[in-house]
Amino acid sequence: PPGGTVTVAAFGERAVAAAVAHADRMLLDIVSPEQVRMLRARMLAAAEKAGRTPPRLAAWLPAAVDPEPESLTQVLRSVVGYLAVPGYSDMFVDAGFAEVVELAAKGADPDTLLRALPPEAAGTVALVGDTDTVRARIAAYAEAGLDEIALVPATAGDPAGERTLTALRPR
């Protein structure tokens, strides 16, 4: 809207440079704290090179507090599409999920990838666990350089994400 802020989703070097040049906020999608650290450094370097103030850094992260099995499945399903994407695939390999990344690279269908993806993979790029675990994970993202988190609450097994949103509301 006129007079509103501009948010640019970015991951690659050219997209980060575009975000620095044109945005008030740079948005990351489904990233680990380590990726936040790396992308923040890339953003700061691009801002210095451009002589601009860096934008705020935000991330869109799936979330499920005390997840039901179907909530966890929903979070994992959101991860499946990233397994073969350059940069994201490296993150999952580094996190110990090379076999599933290899399946994705060979063109396995989403249901096969979902069955092959262990539940702990959700913790790589999402906020999953009990309230204290998720709050600690949020703190890790902030420490890595994230200014804002856009929660994407799992709604399967948690209608409207109420359990997750209630547990994570500001104190």
Amino acid letter, 116: A
Domain-embedded: residue 123: yes
Q: Average pLDDT of 14-27?
A: 97
Residue range of the domain that includes 129: 7-168
Q: In this predicted structure, which of 24-28, 43-47, 93-97, 164-168 has the lowest mean pLDDT?
A: 93-97
How far apart (Å, rounded) are the C-alpha atoms in residues 107 and 80? Answer: 12
165 pLDDT more than 90: yes
Domain-embedded: residue 1: no
Tell me which residue of 64, 35, 44, 46 sits closest to 140, measured CA to CA. Answer: 35
How far apart (Å, rounded) are the C-alpha atoms in residues 65 and 153? Answer: 9
In the chain, the percentage of residues whose pLDDT exceeds 70 is 100
Domain-embedded: residue 100: yes
pLDDT, tens digit, for every residue of 112-142?
999 999 999 999 999 999 999 999 999 999 9
- What CATH number does the domain containing 21 carry? 3.20.20.30
87 pLDDT more than 90: no
DSSP β-bridge partners for residue 63: 127, 153
Overall number of domains in the chain: 1
Q: 24 and 6 in contact (C-beta within 8 Å)? A: yes
Domain-embedded: residue 2: no
